[in-house]
C-alpha cells in the first residue's frame, strides 16, 4: 500500500500529519499479509473468528463509511432496525430478523471462498485514495456533522472531520495489532 497519493505540499501541516499517520497505520496492517496465500489470509489461527483478510476488509469498510459521513453527514451511516426488532434483541442475538447493515458488518470480518487477498488489498487502496481526496478537499477539519442515532452514540453528539480522521487512525492501528497477533499465530512471522 502506498504511503499517500496526495502530495504533502498541497496539504496544510495538520492534514499532512494526520494522513501520514493513517498511512503508517495502514502499512502496519497490510504488512501483516505480505507473502500469504488467499487460504492463509482466510484462516482463523486463534479461537476468535478473526482472519487477516477479514480484518483488512473491515478496516476498509469502516474507513469508507466514515469518509462518506464526512461528505454526506449522518445519512451515510444509517442503523435502521426491522419492524418489531429492538436494540436489545439485536444485542442478545435473538432478533427475528437482522438488519442488512449488521449482516454486512459481520461479513466484513470474513473471507469467504473465492475472495482473494489481492482483491481485498486493491479495494483498500481505492478506499485509501478516496479518503485522501476527501480530507484534502474538506474546507475545514473542524466542520462537524451530528452522529447518527444508535445506542453507541450519545444523543445529540457531533463529530468533526478531524475527530473522524483520528478515529480511523485509531481503528486502523488497533486492528493492525490484532493482525500482527494473527500473523504470528498463523506462521510465526511478524509484520515488522
Domain range annotation of the chain: 36-187
Out of 1.10.730.10, 3.60.10.10, 1.20.120.450, 1.20.1340.10, the CATH code matching 36-187 is 1.20.120.450
Q: Which three cell numbers, joined as nine digits, stand for 12?
A: 496544510
pLDDT at 2: 47
**How far is residue 139's CA from residue 182's CA, in Å, rounded to a whole number?**
39
For residue 192, what pLDDT band results from cuts at 50, 70 and 90? low
| Cβ-contact 60, 171 below 8 angstroms | no
Q: Which three cell numbers, joined as nine digits, stand for 174?
A: 488497533
Q: pLDDT digit string (tens) for 64-106?
A: 999 999 999 999 998 889 999 999 998 898 989 998 898 888 8
Beta bridge partners of 158: 146
Q: pLDDT digit string (tens) for 149-191?
A: 888 999 999 999 999 999 999 999 999 999 999 999 998 887 7
Cα diameter, the chain: 53
Q: Which ranges constitute the DSSP H helices of 77-116? A: 87-92, 100-108
Q: pLDDT digit string (tens) for 21-68?
A: 999 999 999 999 999 999 999 999 999 889 999 999 999 999 999 999
Whether the pLDDT of residue 10 is over 80: the answer is: no
Whether the pLDDT of residue 1 is over 60: the answer is: no
Say how many residues make up the chain.
192
Amino acid at each position: 500500500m502506498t504511503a499517500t497519493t496526495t502530495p504533502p505540499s498541497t496539504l496544510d501541516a495538520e492534514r499532512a500529519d494526520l494522513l501520514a499517520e493513517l498511512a503508517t497505520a495502514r502499512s502496519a496492517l497490510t504488512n501483516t499479509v505480505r507473502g500469504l496465500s488467499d487460504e492463509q489470509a482466510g484462516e482463523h489461527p486463534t479461537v476468535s473468528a478473526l482472519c487477516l483478510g477479514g480484518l483488512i476488509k473491515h478496516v476498509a469498510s469502516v474507513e469508507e463509511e466514515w469518509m462518506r459521513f464526512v461528505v454526506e453527514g449522518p445519512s451515510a451511516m444509517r442503523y435502521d432496525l426491522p419492524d418489531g426488532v429492538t436494540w436489545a434483541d439485536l444485542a442478545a442475538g435473538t432478533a427475528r430478523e437482522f438488519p442488512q447493515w449488521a449482516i454486512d458488518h459481520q461479513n466484513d470480518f470474513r473471507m469467504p471462498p473465492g475472495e482473494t487477498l489481492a482483491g481485498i488489498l486493491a479495494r483498500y487502496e481505492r478506499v485509501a485514495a478516496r479518503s485522501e481526496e476527501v480530507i484534502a478537499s474538506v474546507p475545514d477539519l473542524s466542520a462537524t456533522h451530528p452522529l447518527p442515532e444508535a445506542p453507541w452514540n450519545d444523543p445529540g453528539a457531533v463529530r468533526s472531520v478531524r475527530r473522524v480522521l483520528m478515529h480511523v487512525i485509531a481503528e486502523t492501528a488497533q486492528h493492525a495489532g490484532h493482525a500482527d497477533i494473527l500473523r504470528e499465530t498463523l506462521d510465526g512471522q511478524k509484520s515488522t
